[in-house]
Amino acid sequence: MALRTITKEGDPILRKVCRPVTEFNERLWTVLDDMAETMHHADGVGLAGPQISYLRRVVVIDVGEGVIEMINPEIVEVSKETQYCREGCLSVPGKWGMTTRPVKIKAKAQDRHGNWFEVEGEQLLAQAICHELEHLDGKLFIDIVEEWLKPEDLEEQDDRK
Ligand code: NI
Protein backbone atom coordinates (compact mmCIF):
# COMPACT_ATOMS: atom_id res chain seq x y z
CA MET A 1 0.00 0.00 0.00
CA ALA A 2 1.07 3.54 -0.59
CA LEU A 3 -0.03 7.03 0.26
CA ARG A 4 -1.35 9.01 -2.69
CA THR A 5 -1.18 12.77 -3.11
CA ILE A 6 -4.50 14.44 -2.34
CA THR A 7 -5.60 16.90 -5.02
CA LYS A 8 -6.55 20.35 -3.76
CA GLU A 9 -9.30 22.79 -4.64
CA GLY A 10 -8.35 24.64 -7.83
CA ASP A 11 -7.10 21.47 -9.53
CA PRO A 12 -9.40 20.92 -12.54
CA ILE A 13 -9.35 17.17 -11.84
CA LEU A 14 -11.75 17.79 -8.96
CA ARG A 15 -14.34 19.17 -11.39
CA LYS A 16 -14.43 16.23 -13.79
CA VAL A 17 -17.22 13.69 -14.02
CA CYS A 18 -15.77 10.25 -13.31
CA ARG A 19 -16.30 7.21 -15.50
CA PRO A 20 -17.68 3.93 -14.19
CA VAL A 21 -15.38 1.13 -13.11
CA THR A 22 -15.66 -1.79 -15.52
CA GLU A 23 -12.81 -4.04 -14.41
CA PHE A 24 -12.63 -5.43 -10.91
CA ASN A 25 -9.02 -6.50 -10.87
CA GLU A 26 -5.85 -6.17 -8.84
CA ARG A 27 -5.18 -2.72 -10.20
CA LEU A 28 -8.50 -1.53 -8.74
CA TRP A 29 -7.79 -3.25 -5.43
CA THR A 30 -4.44 -1.44 -5.16
CA VAL A 31 -6.20 1.88 -5.74
CA LEU A 32 -8.81 1.05 -3.08
CA ASP A 33 -6.14 -0.01 -0.56
CA ASP A 34 -4.17 3.16 -1.23
CA MET A 35 -7.29 5.29 -0.89
CA ALA A 36 -8.12 3.82 2.53
CA GLU A 37 -4.55 4.31 3.70
CA THR A 38 -4.44 7.88 2.40
CA MET A 39 -7.80 8.70 4.02
CA HIS A 40 -6.75 7.29 7.41
CA HIS A 41 -3.36 8.97 7.25
CA ALA A 42 -5.06 12.33 6.64
CA ASP A 43 -7.63 11.71 9.42
CA GLY A 44 -10.50 11.90 6.95
CA VAL A 45 -13.79 10.02 7.02
CA GLY A 46 -14.05 9.66 3.25
CA LEU A 47 -12.09 9.93 0.03
CA ALA A 48 -13.22 9.85 -3.60
CA GLY A 49 -11.30 8.86 -6.74
CA PRO A 50 -10.68 12.38 -8.09
CA GLN A 51 -9.02 13.29 -4.79
CA ILE A 52 -6.14 11.00 -5.77
CA SER A 53 -6.41 11.94 -9.48
CA TYR A 54 -8.23 8.68 -10.27
CA LEU A 55 -11.19 9.57 -12.46
CA ARG A 56 -13.32 6.51 -11.82
CA ARG A 57 -16.43 6.11 -9.71
CA VAL A 58 -14.89 4.85 -6.47
CA VAL A 59 -15.13 6.13 -2.91
CA VAL A 60 -13.97 4.89 0.47
CA ILE A 61 -15.66 5.92 3.69
CA ASP A 62 -14.83 5.25 7.33
CA VAL A 63 -16.88 7.00 9.98
CA GLY A 64 -15.33 4.86 12.70
CA GLU A 65 -17.06 1.58 11.90
CA GLY A 66 -14.57 0.23 9.37
CA VAL A 67 -13.88 1.00 5.74
CA ILE A 68 -16.75 0.89 3.26
CA GLU A 69 -15.64 0.64 -0.36
CA MET A 70 -18.25 1.83 -2.84
CA ILE A 71 -17.73 1.32 -6.54
CA ASN A 72 -20.14 2.80 -9.09
CA PRO A 73 -22.31 4.02 -6.19
CA GLU A 74 -25.80 5.40 -6.63
CA ILE A 75 -28.21 6.97 -4.21
CA VAL A 76 -31.43 4.96 -3.95
CA GLU A 77 -33.40 6.87 -1.34
CA VAL A 78 -33.03 10.01 0.74
CA SER A 79 -35.03 11.05 3.78
CA LYS A 80 -37.10 14.19 3.67
CA GLU A 81 -35.80 14.98 7.11
CA THR A 82 -32.54 16.92 6.92
CA GLN A 83 -29.58 17.63 9.16
CA TYR A 84 -27.49 20.79 9.33
CA CYS A 85 -23.91 19.54 9.09
CA ARG A 86 -20.49 20.89 9.78
CA GLU A 87 -18.54 19.88 6.74
CA GLY A 88 -14.99 19.96 5.42
CA CYS A 89 -12.98 18.18 2.75
CA LEU A 90 -9.42 16.86 2.54
CA SER A 91 -9.16 18.70 -0.80
CA VAL A 92 -10.18 21.99 0.81
CA PRO A 93 -7.85 22.17 3.80
CA GLY A 94 -8.60 24.64 6.56
CA LYS A 95 -12.12 25.52 5.41
CA TRP A 96 -15.29 24.44 7.18
CA GLY A 97 -18.89 25.29 6.53
CA MET A 98 -22.47 24.29 7.23
CA THR A 99 -24.45 22.25 4.73
CA THR A 100 -27.94 20.78 4.67
CA ARG A 101 -28.00 17.03 4.06
CA PRO A 102 -30.60 14.30 4.37
CA VAL A 103 -30.43 12.70 7.80
CA LYS A 104 -30.84 9.22 6.29
CA ILE A 105 -29.78 7.79 3.00
CA LYS A 106 -29.86 4.49 1.16
CA ALA A 107 -27.29 3.84 -1.54
CA LYS A 108 -26.22 0.92 -3.65
CA ALA A 109 -22.75 0.18 -4.93
CA GLN A 110 -20.50 -2.61 -6.11
CA ASP A 111 -17.82 -4.09 -3.91
CA ARG A 112 -14.26 -4.76 -5.08
CA HIS A 113 -15.41 -7.98 -6.74
CA GLY A 114 -18.27 -6.35 -8.60
CA ASN A 115 -21.09 -7.58 -6.36
CA TRP A 116 -23.89 -5.10 -5.68
CA PHE A 117 -24.82 -4.27 -2.09
CA GLU A 118 -26.83 -1.65 -0.26
CA VAL A 119 -25.76 0.73 2.48
CA GLU A 120 -28.11 2.56 4.77
CA GLY A 121 -26.56 5.49 6.55
CA GLU A 122 -27.71 7.99 9.11
CA GLN A 123 -26.22 11.26 10.30
CA LEU A 124 -22.44 11.33 9.70
CA LEU A 125 -22.54 8.30 7.38
CA ALA A 126 -25.39 9.81 5.37
CA GLN A 127 -23.47 13.07 5.12
CA ALA A 128 -20.27 11.28 4.09
CA ILE A 129 -22.01 9.26 1.38
CA CYS A 130 -23.57 12.42 -0.09
CA HIS A 131 -20.28 14.30 0.06
CA GLU A 132 -18.20 11.52 -1.52
CA LEU A 133 -20.69 10.72 -4.28
CA GLU A 134 -20.79 14.38 -5.27
CA HIS A 135 -17.01 14.26 -5.79
CA LEU A 136 -17.63 11.71 -8.57
CA ASP A 137 -19.64 14.32 -10.46
CA GLY A 138 -17.11 17.11 -9.97
CA LYS A 139 -18.98 18.77 -7.12
CA LEU A 140 -17.45 20.08 -3.91
CA PHE A 141 -19.10 20.92 -0.60
CA ILE A 142 -17.99 24.53 -1.02
CA ASP A 143 -20.62 24.79 -3.78
CA ILE A 144 -23.43 24.24 -1.26
CA VAL A 145 -22.10 25.77 1.94
CA GLU A 146 -24.76 27.91 3.56
CA GLU A 147 -22.57 29.48 6.20
CA TRP A 148 -18.79 29.45 6.57
CA LEU A 149 -17.36 28.68 9.99
CA LYS A 150 -14.81 30.93 11.60
CA PRO A 151 -11.57 29.54 13.06
CA GLU A 152 -12.90 29.93 16.60
CA ASP A 153 -15.86 27.70 15.71
CA LEU A 154 -13.54 24.92 14.59
CA GLU A 155 -11.83 23.74 17.73
CA GLU A 156 -13.95 20.64 18.17
CA GLN A 157 -14.39 20.17 14.43
CA ASP A 158 -12.90 16.99 13.00
CA ASP A 159 -15.21 15.62 10.33
CA ARG A 160 -12.96 15.84 7.30
CA LYS A 161 -13.93 14.16 4.09
NI1 NI B 1 -14.26 15.82 0.01
Within a domain: residue 67? yes
Within a domain: residue 82? yes
Within a domain: residue 25? yes
CATH number at residue 74: 3.90.45.10
Q: Rounded to two decimals, what is the model's pTM?
A: 0.94
Angle at 94 between CA 90 and CA 99, to 5 degrees: 75
Q: Which domain holds residue 100?
A: 12-159
For residue 134, report the distance from its CA to the centre of ligand 1, in Å: 9
Within a domain: residue 1? no
Within a domain: residue 5? no
Q: What is the chain's pLDDT, residue by residue, as a tens digit (161 residues)?
A: 899 999 999 999 999 999 999 999 999 999 999 999 999 999 999 999 999 999 999 999 999 999 999 999 999 999 999 999 999 999 999 999 999 999 999 999 999 999 999 999 999 999 999 999 999 999 999 999 999 998 777 766 555 66
Which stretches does DSSP call E strand in 88-152? 97-102, 104-110, 116-122, 147-148
* Residues with catalytic function: 132
Within a domain: residue 7? no
Provide the number of structural domains found in the chain. 1
Sequence-distant (≥ 6) Cβ neighbours of residue 52 within 8 angstroms: 4, 5, 6, 7, 31, 34, 35, 38
For residue 34, report the distance from its CA to the centre of ligand 1, in Å: 16
For residue 142, report the distance from its CA to the centre of ligand 1, in Å: 10
DSSP state of 150: P
